[in-house]
């Protein structure tokens, strides 16, 4: 390859690509200098997904469904509209479907082909959701995957796996834990974890 | 395409390892790739074409790259293909340098807003009804499809109908949205994986009408 005389030769990996951080920075710099992208907008996107959108949104939806039977019905009938009532909407959430866990049914959501995820209610997916282990096994061995998360499901409970192959995005409504009758909606939302809305956990028990 | 991305049912990737208190982005560059990709989508293409681009990363390489490394590879390829950057700039980027190629002609295209509602009303009537048994066709397209291998040739029951949606197989390869009716089809775990599967378990997939046939 062409020799770069400005380069400080402190290593012998001339042909190896530079590390990801440098390559990404180089692309970003070129695109920004040409005016194709706005770096401040990237800052805002990163901040938005780090600080504004996340599973707390979904937790509010679930807690409301637990406490308000009319809302629960609207959520199960048309999740996109019911979620929008709480002010949550946006890309990867245009066609939301809520699926409810019961004593007899446990739901688990996966995207085997890529990593589709209900972003407006859960934020960006965790690494494990995008992992090859999860994508490959959730459909063929869902009970084994649940065991990896420490969740044992009795044999007579139906495990329903939802492979998100289209633009429909699934939100699991976990079962409301016992002993939470006196909790407020805000206190209930604290019990609703991200994993409980994917189906790899139950909602937390009250403290 | 029968790529390694279609990994439902594969063995050998080990247990699912969850990280406690995981950050949204593990490295700063991951957030930059994420943000850049969002803005680049305004220069053309669509979600199906973007998925197809990831699927076309060679299987051995796909398996070596992390999620956002795959996104970055796609972004680079997209920038070269659309002429946003030159081949010379791409080579410089590979070695971590932001060297502008002054001979490169700037693409004069106004970024367009991205529409992300995929429902499209259809005038036609539904071919299948909720409750009907259907077979997922045995197909092996070399281009993008959202019918995973593990469901092909298998029989399931339609449990929901969602009206018309953009058809990925067409949209991904520049042949237009060609909206088709979308259904949720529920398969028993035994139909998909054999008698060792729990008889109570099911897997549901969202499948477009052209993927389905009468039993």
The architecture CATH gives domain A53-198: Alpha-Beta Complex (3.90)
Q: Are A101 and A113 in contact (CB under 8 A)?
A: no
* Residue B122 covered by a domain: no
- How far is residue A78's CA from residue A41's CA, in Å, rounded to a whole number? 32
Q: Which domain holds residue B160?
A: 133-214
pLDDT band at B105 (very low <50, low <70, confident <90, very high): confident
**Chain B CB within 8 Å of residue A91 CB:** yes
Q: Looking at the structure, do residues B25 and B62 belong to the same domain, yes or no?
A: yes
Is pLDDT of A7 > 50? no
Does residue B124 lie within any of the structural domains?
Answer: no
State how many domains chain B has.
2
Distance from CA of B2 to the nearest CA of A (A): 11
Does one domain contain both B87 and B1?
yes
Q: A44 near B121, Cβ under 8 Å?
A: no
pLDDT of residue A3: 42
d(CA B169, CA B144): 5
Interface of A with B in 94-133 (CB under 8 A): 94-95, 110, 112-115, 123-124, 126-128, 130-133
Q: How confident is the model at residue A93 (pLDDT cuts 50, 70, 90)?
A: confident
Instruction: Show the tokens assigned to B49.
Output: 């074409």
pLDDT at B27: 96
Phi/psi region, residue B70 (left: phi>0; alpha: psi -120 to 50; beta: rest), is alpha
Q: Which tokens go with A121?
A: 């209610």
The ipTM estimated for the assembled molecules is 0.96
Model-level pTM?
A: 0.94
pLDDT digits (tens, 9 = 90+) for A101-157: 999 999 999 999 999 999 999 999 999 999 999 999 999 999 999 999 999 999 999
Please, which pLDDT band fits residue A1 given cuts at 50, 70 and 90? very low
Q: Encode pLDDT of B38-83 as tens digits.
A: 999 888 889 999 999 999 999 999 999 999 999 999 999 999 999 9
Q: In this structure, are residues A95 and A169 in contact, taking their beta carbons and an 8 Å threshold?
A: yes
- Give the pLDDT confidence score for residue A16 in this predicted structure: 61
B105 and B171 inside one domain: no
Q: Which of B8, B39, B165 is facing A139, going by the closest CB pair?
A: B8
Mean pLDDT (chain B) is 95
CATH number, residue B62: 1.10.472.20
Closest CA to A129 of A156, A151, A148: A148
**Residue written as token pair 């367009």:** B112
Tell me the per-residue pLDDT of A22-36, one tens digit each, with 9 for 90 and over.
999 999 999 999 999
Do the chains contact at A36 and B208, CB–CB below 8 Å?
Answer: no
**Residue in chain A nearest B82 by alpha carbon:** A36
Q: Residue A30 class from Cβ within 10 Å (0-12 exposed, 13-18 middle, 19+ buried)?
A: buried
Q: Please check the confidence at residue A11 and state whether its pLDDT lies above 70.
A: no
Q: Is residue B1 part of a domain?
A: yes
- Shortest Cα–Cα distance, A143 to chain B (Å): 9
Average pLDDT over residues A57-64: 98
Amino acid B60: pLDDT: 97
């Amino acid at each position: 390859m062409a020799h770069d005389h400005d380069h400080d030769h402190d290593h012998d990996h001339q042909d190896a690509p530079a590390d990801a951080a440098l390559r990404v920075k180089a692309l970003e710099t070129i695109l920004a200098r040409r005016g194709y992208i706005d770096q401040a907008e990237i800052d805002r996107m990163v901040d938005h997904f780090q600080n504004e959108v996340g599973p707390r949104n979904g937790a509010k939806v679930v807690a409301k469904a637990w406490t308000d039977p009319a809302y629960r019905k609207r959520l199960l009938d048309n999740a996109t509209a019911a979620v929008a009532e709480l002010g949550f909407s946006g890309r990867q959430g245009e066609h939301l479907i809520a699926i409810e866990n019961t004593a007899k049914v446990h739901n688990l959501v996966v995207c085997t082909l890529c990593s589709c995820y209900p972003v407006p209610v859960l934020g960006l997916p965790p690494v494990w959701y995008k992992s090859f282990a999860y994508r490959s096994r959730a459909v063929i061995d869902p009970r084994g995957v649940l065991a990896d998360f420490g969740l044992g499901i009795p044999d007579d409970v139906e495990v329903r796996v939802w492979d998100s192959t289209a633009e429909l995005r699934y939100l699991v409504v976990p079962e409301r834990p016992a002993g939470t009758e006196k909790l407020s909606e805000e206190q209930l939302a604290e019990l609703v974890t991200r994993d409980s809305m994917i189906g790899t956990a139950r909602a937390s028990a009250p403290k | 395409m029968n790529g390694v991305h279609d990994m439902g049912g594969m063995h050998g990737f080990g247990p699912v390892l969850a990280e406690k208190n995981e950050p949204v982005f593990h490295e700063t560059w991951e957030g930059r790739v994420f943000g850049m990709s969002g803005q680049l989508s305004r220069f053309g293409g669509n979600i199906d074409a973007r998925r197809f681009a990831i699927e076309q990363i060679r299987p051995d390489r796909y398996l070596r790259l992390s999620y956002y490394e795959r996104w970055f590879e796609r972004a680079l390829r997209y920038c070269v293909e659309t002429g946003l950057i030159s081949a010379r700039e791409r080579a410089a980027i590979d070695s971590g340098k932001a060297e502008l190629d002054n001979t490169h002609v700037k693409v004069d295209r106004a970024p367009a807003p991205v529409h992300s509602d995929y429902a499209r009303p259809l005038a036609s009537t539904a071919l299948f009804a909720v409750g009907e048994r259907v077979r997922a066709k045995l197909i092996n397209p070399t281009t993008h499809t959202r019918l995973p291998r593990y469901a092909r040739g298998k029989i399931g029951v339609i449990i929901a109908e969602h009206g018309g949606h953009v058809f990925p197989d067409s949209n991904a390869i520049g042949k237009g949205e060609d909206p088709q009716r979308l259904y949720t089809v529920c398969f028993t775990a035994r139909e998909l994986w054999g008698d060792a599967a729990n008889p109570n378990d099911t897997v549901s997939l969202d499948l477009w009408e052209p993927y389905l046939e009468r039993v």
